[in-house]
Amino acid sequence: MSVAFDTLKFVERLEAGGFTHVQAKAAAEAFADATGQELATKRDLKEVEASLQSDMAAVKADIAAVRAELKETERALEAKIENVETRLQAKIETSAAGLKVDILRWLIVTQIGLAGFIFAAMKFVK
């Protein structure tokens, strides 16, 4: 909705303020051109405000939906991370057990070899 600009009233006010008729007419025409002859009314502003409020409600609903989706994604990622941690811990424990067996095996072989060396050295010395 728009309100037409009353150029005659504008010219009369300018003339009452000391403008010449030519100056007042030029100012009125310039103002009319600059404003496009349309001014917003209080009703226009209230309609825009109501529209913005309904748009804002929709935006808030969208934000709430995105937050809920992010929470669900976060929960899913936490579950996946926990699963990976569990599998990794199991692999680490299996590897550690295998290393312990290897170390024990090498220790026994080394001890047997050392005992054999000592036995041979004793035979050689006697």
pLDDT in tens, 22-67: 999 999 888 877 776 566 778 888 999 999 998 998 899 999 999 9
pLDDT in tens, 85-106: 999 999 999 999 999 999 999 9
Instruction: Tell whether 29 and 66 lie within a shared domain.
Output: no
Domain of residue 4: give its range: 1-39
Q: What are phi and psi of 39, to 5 degrees?
A: -125, 145
Instruction: Tell whether 18 and 63 lie within a shared domain.
Output: no
Could you tell me what percent of the chain has a pLDDT over 70?
93
Instruction: Tell whether 6 and 26 lie within a shared domain.
Output: yes
DSSP 6: -
Picking from 100, 98, 77, 80, the residue whose alpha carbon sits closest to that of residue 88 is: 80
Instruction: Tell whether 51 and 104 lie within a shared domain.
Output: yes
Instruction: Tell whether 79 and 119 lie within a shared domain.
Output: yes
Token pair 């995105």: residue? 66
Instruction: Tell whether 55 and 5 lie within a shared domain.
Output: no
Instruction: Tell whether 2 and 29 lie within a shared domain.
Output: yes
Instruction: Tell whether 51 and 93 lie within a shared domain.
Output: yes
Instruction: Tell whether 51 and 90 lie within a shared domain.
Output: yes
Instruction: Tell whether 117 and 56 lie within a shared domain.
Output: yes
Instruction: Tell whether 22 and 68 lie within a shared domain.
Output: no
Q: Is the model's pLDDT at 2 over the cut of 60?
A: no
Q: Which residues 6+ apart lie within 8 Å of 40 measured at CB?
A: 2
Long-range contacts of 52-58 (CB under 8 A, 24+ apart): none
Model's pTM, two decimal places? Answer: 0.45
The count of structural domains within the chain is 2
pLDDT in tens, 12-26: 999 999 999 999 999
